[in-house]
Structure 1
Amino acid sequence: MQKIDLEQMDLDELKRIRKDVDRAIESYERRKKQDALAAAEAAAKESGYTLSELLGSAAKSKGKRVNPPKYRHPDNPELTWTGRGRRPDWIQEGLQAGKSLEDFLIAK
């Protein structure tokens, strides 16, 4: 493999090389995943199944279920909270100011 003298290159050349390397890595990983998928499908077929039969619904449901927001900031409607996890700062500040969680509830 040819050795590249990176010290002699300017910033634009280095960024171009980095972009090319990133693309080559992504392409390599994509090919390896396709090869692994093809091998898994072949092994399933050899046993008389399809890959989707073996994986069931796990292969179909890749996305996470999103919980709808339950609370909304009174002044900035873009700020919402589902009521799960750590309380946002604007909820904490409102509670410290004497408000209750019910004051932030989204009306349904």
Structure 2
Amino acid sequence: MKKPNLDDLSVDELWQLHEELNRLLSVRLTAEKRALESRLAQLRRENEAAKAPSEPPSSRPKRPYPRVKPKYRNPNLPHETWSGRGKQPKWLAAALRTGRSIEDFLISNR
């Protein structure tokens, strides 16, 4: 295809070329989008077919764990407690940095 010399075209001719390019791009992009959407739908169908019907669904309920009673209490704010599992709360970590022992925060009547 021979490239047109754009410098020789008038403003009206350039505008017509612009509109024709926009129309062609719109048609091609729409066709490509439809092709991609149909391929995606096909891949989804294949993925669903590949899953064995005997497999349990991936969103099965979590195993219920028993609630753990608190083991440590913040003496300054008694409603702040910690069971001893997971990450240490900030109040306990700060107190331990000051030199206090973790046994100082044990709840006595467990």
Q: Which category of TM-score, normalised to the shorter sequence, fits these structures?
A: 0.3 to 0.5
Q: TM-score, normalised by structure 2?
A: 0.40
Q: Give 1 or 2 for the bigger CA radius of gyration.
A: 2
Q: TM-score, normalised by structure 1?
A: 0.41
